[in-house]
Chains A and B, each alone.
Chain A
Amino acid sequence: MAYELTAEGFLSSAKAFIETSNLLHDDWILYENLDICKSYIQKNTFINVKGQLFKTEFVIFYHLSYGVPTFSFNIWDSTGTILNLEDIRKISFTEINQKDFYSVITQQEHPVLCRPFFIMHPCHTYQLLSSLSESKNIIVTFLGLITPLINLQLSSKYGL
């Protein structure tokens, strides 16, 4: 129950994660901010789903209220149109019904980047991370939890 992650703890996990990412040429980038609560890591890439190409931006940031890492993203199709939540559900990695999907992901104003993003609700993360024992890197553990929902193609070399 007493799961606590500080902004400093998040930042040091993020730095360790970026080191691994660099070794694997995985293109995650750390954006450090003077305001430590606003540091985040980001990866812009293309994904191929059922023969269709999409541009994606993935951002992992520290959610100040919940004290957890939080996953956020945007996806554009090849015409440059940003996908809505229903489009995203259809290209999700696993079959998931509308109600469950919508209860986990909603469009919100990004607390750090201040523009619309799809954000995974941090309250679920809090419950999940509270139920797990100590992990080597909280960001890796966290990504392991969410990959079933979002097709992230995370290498097992991160130590999942």
Chain B
Amino acid sequence: MANDREVLREIWDGKLPVCFQLDQEEIMEIQQPDPFYVMVPRLSYFPLVIDKMKRHFLRYISQENADNEMWMDYNGQPLKWHYPIGFLYDLYCGNDPQTPWTLTVHFSKFPGNILLHCPNKDVVEAHYMSTVKEADVLKHRGQIMSAMQKKDHNQLWLGLQNDKFDQFWAINRRLMESHGDNDGFKHIPIRIYAEDGTCTQRLISPKNIDGSRKIIQQLITELYPEKPVKLRTHGITIPLDTPLQWLSEHLSYPDNFLHICVC
């Protein structure tokens, strides 16, 4: 179980400075809007942290676009709101860190062939809960999530949404336990993304065939036999001797998946 509380706390407290700028084409006023600076939790999702930014820019845009769905890009790359913010930063800026992270805000030309629609925060919650559920299917055949009550599910979500570490971990710790005599999850919920954003998902056991703990080095050899790669998450290059089970318990995002970038 997730025992290294300091690590959990450190990961939870990770923040990114972001600078939002309104797309020049959207500006309908003579006066240019100031950029909007904010510190955002790495573990959160953009739709949960951009209400103020949206209000800041609304009065500069054409009123006919005011009810449109807002979206953002980094260097022309539309940002997928359904991934945690810190993961998106690692994916696009991991090799060349820049702070503040400068993003462009749009109120028109929503790229519906790339981005999911997000009309309200309920959609974020539904997406989050279904991802936690999927992770639990991989770890415990879904038994922990289905044994929980609705109020526990709510507490997870509210803990994340309101940045309440204790509230969140009071529930999440149950999802991080392994059961029976078998010390470890059935499979590790892990998604590994190439630089172009394409994702590899495999059924990964936390153990080797001989029953020993599988470490990152062994995972890399398994997935990338031709050339060794480095893996990054939460802005950290993962040490090669890290056991997968420990990684899953401590460095998973709140959706209970490890989101890892190849670098």
A residues adjacent to B (C-beta < 8 A): 35, 37, 64-66, 82, 84, 106-109, 111, 114-116, 121, 123, 126
Contacts and interface: CB of A to CB of B under 8 A. Distances in A.
A37 B202 contact: yes
Interface in B38-84: 80, 82
Interface stretch (B108-116, B173-181, B228-236, B237-245): B108-116
Given A65-B138, A66-B134, A66-B137, A108 B116 contact: yes
A111 B198 CA distance: 9
Given A64-B201, A65-B135, A106-B126, 11 more contacts: A37-B202, A64-B202, A65-B138, A107-B116, A108-B116, A108-B127, A109-B80, A109-B116, A115-B114, A116-B112, A123-B137
A121 B137 CA distance: 13
Contacts of B112: 82, 116
Interface of B: 80, 82, 112-117, 126-127, 130, 133-135, 137-138, 142, 189, 197-203
Nearest to A2: B141
Contacts, number: 45
A155 B57 CA distance: 53
A82 B112 CA distance: 8
B197 A114 contact: yes
A82 B126 CA distance: 22
Contacts of B127: 106, 108
Contacts of B80: 109
A116 B115 CA distance: 7
